[in-house]
């Protein structure tokens, strides 16, 4: 062990950056704290503009060779990375839970297997990526996907490794090199990913990891003239700063931002199913961008829906996320907890009623909360809380339900509970959202487009959409019978 290696839940984690295939320390550090109990995990290298520039330079130097690497070889290496993830799945799960407080059982059974799947899916999709040639007045059109160049990927803290690899895997598959900047509250599994990628044979400089505060290194990454793609998941204000920075070089952006998604429950819905969907919105202590945080319930069933919801939510267990019996863990950071509590306190002061919850608990835990008597134009209805806080409003007509659902600046997702397929078709066709679920929630397929409308984002990723973003899509037109003898 060295001074730069932490032991977290029995797993050794290097605290330095990964740049050009080497570990690089910074003069300054920042403190990483576990949300489970507030314990200090260790000091992490705190990147500056110097490390950001070095990472971009390493990505630029590695780009020509990686871009020229045959598709089959790139795919083979990505599968090797997936093998490494699966080999270290338990280590990744326990480190991630310690670092971000999400349920260990979820990391073991769903999240970390999805990390491996991210690499396998895009490796396989790369090998079948093609567009059928077509003719224009006898000329042949051939579409191809050329690697774009170094890509900066800035990822959030609510599902750190899964959301990082959702970007890293397609960028690498496309032939781009990567500078990954993980969230400062959850840097540890990105460091482990660097080790896994190196062991899998990914060439030096193809994946670089720079840690630190976005306010200190963000502009150096996003305004760099050698960066050709930027993908960001996070808040609207940060995205606006990134967009302004990227505009200097007209660097293409993919932005997956906040949500204030609705759950529409019609009187003809299976109420037990609707309640199950509603309670599921407390997943990850409410720290899910896609969560349907606004319940819109038809007035005639609102009282019964609320009764069943309160009963079902009351069965949830909140506590240590390492315990298999726990359903809701802590929130990520004292600052986030204060933000959540501020939203609730202001809502109650404005006339909202807490049907359940509405208060902090010991440590970094917030009681699962449902607020009623909220106005459509109120802060609690219009702004993203990103905690276990839900609101309930009623409607009397289908048109009113659609109006309420669409009446925010966001448009990331929507969930609909109804027993009428014709109504489902009508309503989903009118909802402003990148993803709509009918009588289900959080069913995700990597070949589907993912992204948001309005202030919930710019662009789509997933399947071919990811390659469309991470590549320069080229059309080559060839004239008929235009070849001359040259021999």
The angle, 0 to 180 degrees and rounded to 10, between the axes of the packed helices 299-313 and 271-279 is 50
Token pair recorded at residue 373 = 């008597």
Give me the torsion for CA of 64, 206, 220, 244, rounded to 10°.
80
What is the C-alpha to C-alpha distance for residues 81 and 168, in angstroms, rounded to an integer? 11
**How far apart (Å, rounded) are the C-alpha atoms in residues 284 and 328?**
6
**Alpha-carbon distance 425 to 438, whole Å?**
9
C-alpha 108, offset from chain centre: 18
d(CA 213, CA 199) in angstroms, rounded, equals 28
Q: Which helix (H) or strand (E) holds 133?
A: none
Active site residue 440: no
Length of the chain: 487
- From residue 431, alpha-carbon distances to 171, 339, 407, 413, 438 in Å are 31, 29, 10, 9, 12
Measured in whole angstroms, the distance separating CA 357 from the mean position of its chain's CA atoms is 27
Query: 385 φ, ψ to 5°?
Result: -90, -40
Which residues does residue 31 pair with via DSSP β-bridges, in sequence order? Answer: 43
Q: Give the SS3 label for residue 212.
A: coil
The residue from 51, 91, 96, 289 that is catalytic is 289
Catalytic hit among 184, 256, 384, 461 = 256
User: Distances in Å between the alpha carbon of 96 and those of 16, 170, 191?
Assistant: 17, 22, 11
- Is residue 256 annotated as part of the catalytic site, yes or no? yes
Residue among 113, 95, 101, 100 nearest 15 (CA) = 95
Please give the Cα distance from 393 to 414 (Å, whole number): 15
**Residues involved in catalysis:** 256, 289
């Amino acid at each position: 062990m060295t001074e730069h290696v932490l032991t977290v839940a029995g797993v050794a984690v290097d605290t330095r950056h990964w740049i050009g295939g080497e570990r690089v320390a910074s003069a300054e550090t920042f403190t990483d704290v576990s949300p489970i109990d507030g314990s200090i995990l260790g000091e992490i290298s705190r990147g500056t503009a110097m490390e950001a520039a070095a990472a971009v330079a390493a990505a630029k130097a590695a780009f020509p060779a990686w871009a020229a690497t045959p598709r089959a070889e790139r795919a083979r290496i990505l599968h090797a990375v997936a093998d490494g993830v699966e080999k270290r799945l338990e280590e990744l799960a326990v480190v991630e839970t310690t670092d971000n407080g999400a349920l260990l059982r979820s990391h073991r059974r769903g999240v970390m297997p999805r990390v491996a799947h991210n690499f396998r899916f895009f490796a396989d999709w790369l090998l079948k990526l093609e567009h059928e040639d077509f003719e224009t007045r006898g000329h042949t059109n051939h579409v191809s996907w050329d690697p774009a160049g170094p890509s900066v990927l800035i990822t959030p803290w609510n599902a750190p490794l899964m959301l990082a690899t959702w970007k890293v895997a397609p960028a690498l598959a496309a032939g781009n090199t990567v500078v990954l900047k993980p969230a400062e509250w959850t840097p540890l599994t990105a460091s482990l990913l660097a080790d896994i990628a190196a062991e899998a044979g990914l060439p030096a400089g193809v994946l670089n990891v720079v840690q630190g505060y976005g306010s200190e290194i963000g502009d150096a990454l996003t305004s760099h003239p050698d960066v050709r793609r930027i993908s960001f998941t996070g808040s609207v204000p940060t995205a606006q700063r990134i967009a302004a920075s990227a505009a200097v070089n007209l660097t293409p952006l993919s932005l997956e931002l906040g949500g204030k998604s609705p759950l529409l429950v019609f009187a003809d819905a299976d109420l037990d199913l609707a309640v199950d969907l509603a309670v599921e919105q407390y997943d990850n202590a409410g720290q899910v961008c896609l969560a349907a945080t606004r319940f819109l319930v038809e007035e005639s069933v609102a009282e019964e829906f609320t009764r069943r919801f309160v009963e079902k939510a009351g069965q949830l267990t909140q506590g240590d996320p390492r315990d298999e019996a726990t359903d809701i863990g802590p929130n990520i950071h004292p600052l986030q907890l204060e933000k959540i509590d501020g939203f609730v306190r202001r809502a109650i002061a404005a006339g909202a009623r807490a049907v359940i919850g509405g208060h902090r608990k010991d440590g970094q835990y917030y009681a699962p909360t449902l607020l009623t008597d909220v106005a459509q134009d109120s802060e609690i209805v219009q702004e993203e809380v990103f905690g276990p806080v839900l609101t309930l409003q009623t409607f009397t007509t289908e048109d009113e339900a659609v109006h309420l659902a669409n009446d925010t600046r966001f448009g990331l997702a929507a969930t609909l509970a109804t027993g009428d397929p014709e109504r489902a078709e009508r309503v989903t066709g009118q909802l402003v959202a990148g993803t709509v679920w009918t009588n289900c929630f959080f069913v995700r397929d990597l070949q589907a487009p993912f992204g948001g409308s309005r202030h919930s984002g710019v662009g789509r990723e997933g399947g071919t959409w990811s390659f469309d973003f991470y590549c320069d899509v080229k059309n080559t037109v060839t004239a008929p019978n235009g070849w001359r003898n040259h021999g």
